[in-house]
Structure 1
Amino acid sequence: MTTTTPTVRTSAGPVQGTSRDGVHAFLGIPYAAPPFGPRRFAAPRAPEPWDGVRPATEYGPTVPKPPYAPPYDVLLPEPQIPGEDCLNVNVWTPDPGASGLPVFVWIHGGAFVNGSNAVPVYDGTAFARDGVVCVSVNYRLGVDGFAHFADDGPPNRGLLDQVAALRWVQENVAAFGGDPARVTVGGESAGAMSVGSLLAMPSARGLFGRAVLQSGAGHHALTPATATRICGYLAERLAVPPTREALAAVAIPDLIAAQQGLAAEIAVMPDPARFGEVAANLMAFEPVVDGEVLPDLPIRAIAGGSARDVPVLVGANRDEQRLFLVPNGVVDMVNDQLLELAVGGYGLPAGRALEVYRASRPGATAGELLADVATDWFFRLPAIRLAEAATQAGGGTGGRAWVYEFSWPSPQFGGRLGACHALEIGFTFDTLAHEAHGVLTGDVAPQELADAMHGAWVRFISDGDPGWAPYDVQRRPVQDFGAEVRLVEDPRGAERSLWDGIR
């Protein structure tokens, strides 16, 4: 049964949500002013206070973004909700009248161009049921969030939005029962890469005490030169100068269409001479190492001690890249020649590397081998490097890291999806029952694995220890969440060693 909740007073005014089965949900609360009109491409500003009690019973507007292209529009369903108050948060709490509860702030993924906090699999009910105040965040995406202008436009607006949301949490979460001194920030994919950036950002320091990074870490960010060039290519498509003022005058649908056209061009012809580091990761809009908001590549900053007092839970899925190669059929189009080119493009000595990868994968096709190599380059090695950096920079008890791998294989696409990208989210949020996620998991996803994984996340958020040995570079313990839950030392160590000095 759903009923109205008590009124909670936030810094901008009172809100009233809904209550069901002992969990109170407050949805669509603005943490910043609408980023349109004179505030377009500007740093986030405080929301306008409101009079009276604001209903917080439905998800708020989503930020400007394109739909996913088929088949990902079905595999990763996400809502489009109109409205300008798109910089909003959702809060789930077991008791607004409580005090001192741990807090989990969630930053969604979507390659920095898609996603929202209204995606059903991010429902925070299970965290609140288990004593955690869960907060999910919208932030500006694509051109609005990450285009790097040649003139005075502030850089990394999407990251600045996340910092503004974390500040909102510091100011307001006590009113929902949470403890502002017990905040964990987490995310998946681009959300995890955002968390990696936050670990490196001076403006985020002190706003959270722990971090969870699922399938993303600290390697993905652009140089200002590449980011400025990308913005220039976008402006060329629109026949306007690459300035904040000129692009702000372009209608949002036209801007998003140009953004999609640029992404398609990069995907078809990822030329490093034209697109720089974007040619490898295919994300045209992402955090930029601007020297101020983001002073350095996150992994370098973390290794230098930027987050030495922040314990991290970090990991990846066993078959991440299969999400991007199996549903569209590309996995079967890869031949040996293309495989060798790709492996060389990632910096590995192709002959030796493929010999090592093939040794533990008898019968694997060229496409399947490419998926494993790309998974290591894009996700697994960055997670390991972040764990190494956090462990070595921490000293004493601070800066410890725990590493996991998710290896339960989806039965979808004839079992070829494996433990693909995004598959673990329904397990960590304990939202397997949400029909939308069943497109990835099928109808046989084991609830006991969700119980184990979600329970580990709750323990880390609440106590700072998910329940297995912290990472060290001698034994390299990794908690494997798969057909069974077990601790493995240095899984696929031969492949990991190939990347030393390369990734």
Structure 2
Amino acid sequence: MSEIATTTIPLASGPILALTDPASKTLHARGIPYAIAPRFAPPQPISAWTAGKDCTVPAPICPQLPSRLESVMGPLTAGHEQSESCLTLSVTAPLHYPPHEAPCNNNNNNSALLPVLVWFHGGAYISGGGDLACYQPLKLAEQGVVCVTVTYRLGVFGYLGLAGIAPRNLGLLDQREALLWVRSNISAFGGDPGNVTAVGQSAGADSIICLLAAEGAKSKELFAKAILLSPPLREIRERAVELTAELLTTKAEGLLTRDPREMDVSELLDLQKKLLMDPVRKQVMLFAPALGEYPLPAVEEFDKRIAGAVADIPILIGWTAHDGRPFSSMMDPFGLGSWGFYNIPLLGSVAEAAQTWYVTRSYFSWPSQEFHAYVRKFAGRSTTYEFGWAAERSKLGSCHCVDIPFVLGAEGAWDAAPMLWGSGTEGDLQRLGEGIRGLWVGFMRGEWVQKEHLRFV
């Protein structure tokens, strides 16, 4: 019986040691550094090394508090190491496509190379990590895709924004640096640097929209296609219109008693907790990229930048039928939850269902459909799909994040997720997973979907 072994991959910055699994015919390299950044500093290129760097063990994620969606997804980060030195990525690639002798730095399509997926996780910019077991893309790699999952700075570490201390949008700059690394190094894993698809869910999808409009390297030089899962598109403009970033900074300055550059990690996370407990306004994402702050344009230039980008970058947009369910009480304009209205028999369940419908439509599906129409208006290509499956024993319905396990995740990684509880889930994961992965892989290979809208149930 074949056993997992190690192999050496030559990269532009130096050789790494990766795992090879003959059983699944995949190669897995974890925690490859793509940049380095002291606290509150922009990412800088990593220094070269000569000895083989061990990339066979789990990589740390950005320091964070427990996710607000643990009641939906389960404790996915439990026991995982956290560190500010977290600017790393992991690569899962087909083993039967041997790595090249040296990295290839070009963007020309090469039929001998494989399509590349770069995953930006969600978590409202305050939780998650690229090297978590729940995001391992083993089945996509088995279908001939080179997959990259990225870890970047979150919360106060990536989006605090204090004049002269902490620039805004550091996490977004991290993501762009990771894409530049992919362009320069991915051919060493058999991936095509000219056929990169950026894929993001929730905050990860929000990031990709921002990267389309960012200054510096043109988005089409960083990725050729984009898959957006449950993008909270309404948030981007509201953050700018309501000056959320400036208000967040003012509130943070009022809570600080000393220079945050000298505070330890626990103190910074305590600051973040206080800001989240007393938010600037009730929104999905308090920490997030800010328009008008480098590398993002001002709000009046945002649409122009997006229009110029989407004409060249095909888009696939998906959402779930009950995306808003986990946020229905958080985003409660009438304060029904604080009155205990949701606890009233029958009336409470009706009110919660109505609130779920409103949040799902206003924050996720309607803005996604508008963006789809916007892309097509500028001669771009776009297809949408709705994910409508729900577990038989879950009261969460087809909620936010429920579609991820159908595409990503190591074996057993999602076992504790309440959103998946039910006796028929395993069979449905296989049935619907094959359909969605087939859609994704075809899209990445350039096999365009003829229908404008699809539904998975």
Question: For the superposition of Structure 1 and Structure 2, which TM-score range results when normalised by the shorter chain?
Answer: 0.7 to 0.9
2:73/2:419 contact within 8 Å kept: no
Q: From 7, 30, 33, give the equivalent of 1:27.
A: 30
**Counterparts of 1:71 and 1:108, CA distance in 2:** 15
Q: Which residue of 2 aligns with 1:211?
A: 226
1:67/1:73 contact within 8 Å kept: no
Distance 1:402 1:74, change over 3 A: closer
Q: Which residue of 1 aligns with 2:105?
A: none
Q: Which residue of 1 aligns with 2:424?
A: 444
Q: Secondary structure at the match of 2:228?
A: strand
Q: From 368, 389, 394, give the equivalent of 1:383.
A: 368
Q: Which residue of 2 aligns with 1:239?
A: 257
Aligned pair 1:150/2:163, yes or no?
Answer: yes
Distance 1:314 1:217, change over 3 A: farther
Aligned pair 1:322/2:341, yes or no?
Answer: no
CA-CA distance at 1:147 after TM superposition: 1.5
After TM superposition, the structure 1 = structure 2 runs for residues 221-300 of structure 1, keeping only pairs within 5 Å, are 221=236, 222-223=239-240, 225-240=243-258, 246-266=259-279, 275=280, 279-297=281-299, 300=303
Q: Secondary structure at the match of 1:451?
A: helix
Q: Which residue of 2 aligns with 1:42?
A: 41
Deviates more, 1:83-92 or 1:416-425: 83-92
CA-CA distance at 1:75 after TM superposition: 2.2
1:101/1:131 contact within 8 Å kept: yes
CA-CA distance at 1:303 after TM superposition: 5.3
Q: Which residue of 2 aligns with 1:311?
A: 314
Give ranges in structure 1 of 5+ residues lacking alignment: 241-245, 267-274, 340-361, 472-477, 483-503
CA-CA distance at 1:436 after TM superposition: 3.7
Deviates more, 1:200-209 or 1:419-428: 200-209
2:406/2:433 contact within 8 Å kept: yes
Q: Which residue of 2 aligns with 1:12?
A: 13
**Counterparts of 2:357 and 2:312, CA distance in 1:** 33
CA-CA distance at 1:338 after TM superposition: 9.8
**Counterparts of 1:145 and 1:336, CA distance in 2:** 32
**Counterparts of 1:159 and 1:216, CA distance in 2:** 16
1:92/1:133 contact within 8 Å kept: yes
Higher relative contact order (CA 8 A, sep 6+): 2
CA-CA distance at 1:281 after TM superposition: 1.7
**Counterparts of 2:138 and 2:69, CA distance in 1:** 30
CA-CA distance at 1:377 after TM superposition: 1.5
Distance 1:292 1:258, change over 3 A: closer
What is the identity, as a one-letter code, of the residue corresponding to 2:90? N
Q: Secondary structure at the match of 2:222?
A: coil
1:411/1:417 contact within 8 Å kept: no
Identity of aligned residues (%): 30
Aligned pair 1:63/2:62, yes or no?
Answer: yes
**Counterparts of 2:337 and 2:118, CA distance in 1:** 43
**Counterparts of 2:364 and 2:243, CA distance in 1:** 24
Instruction: Give the TM-score of the pair, scaled to structure 2.
Output: 0.85
1:108/1:191 contact within 8 Å kept: yes
After TM superposition, the structure 1 = structure 2 runs for residues 84-163 of structure 1, keeping only pairs within 5 Å, are 84-94=84-94, 95-97=97-99, 99-151=112-164, 153-163=166-176
CA-CA distance at 1:204 after TM superposition: 4.5
**Counterparts of 1:437 and 1:203, CA distance in 2:** 41
What is the identity, as a one-letter code, of the residue corresponding to 1:452? G
**Counterparts of 1:337 and 1:67, CA distance in 2:** 26
**Counterparts of 2:226 and 2:265, CA distance in 1:** 34
2:73/2:416 contact within 8 Å kept: no
1:211/1:312 contact within 8 Å kept: yes
Distance 1:26 1:102, change over 3 A: same
Q: Which residue of 2 aligns with 1:400?
A: 381
CA-CA distance at 1:78 after TM superposition: 1.6
2:63/2:83 contact within 8 Å kept: no
Aligned pair 1:370/2:382, yes or no?
Answer: no
Deviates more, 1:115-124 or 1:65-74: 65-74
Distance 1:26 1:153, change over 3 A: same
**Counterparts of 2:150 and 2:189, CA distance in 1:** 16
Q: Which residue of 1 aligns with 2:456?
A: 481
2:323/2:399 contact within 8 Å kept: yes
Q: From 394, 399, 403, give the equivalent of 1:420.
A: 399
Distance 1:198 1:69, change over 3 A: closer
Distance 1:375 1:301, change over 3 A: farther
Instruction: Give the TM-score of the pair, scaled to structure 1.
Output: 0.78
**Counterparts of 2:180 and 2:443, CA distance in 1:** 22
What is the identity, as a one-letter code, of the residue corresponding to 1:390? V
Query: Between Structure 1 and Structure 2, how many residues are aligned?
Result: 423
**Counterparts of 2:60 and 2:251, CA distance in 1:** 29
1:147/1:285 contact within 8 Å kept: yes
**Counterparts of 1:379 and 1:176, CA distance in 2:** 35
Q: Which residue of 2 aligns with 1:351?
A: none
1:104/1:133 contact within 8 Å kept: yes
Q: Deviations over 1:357-390 (max 9, x none)?
A: xxxxx99701110011011121112211221111
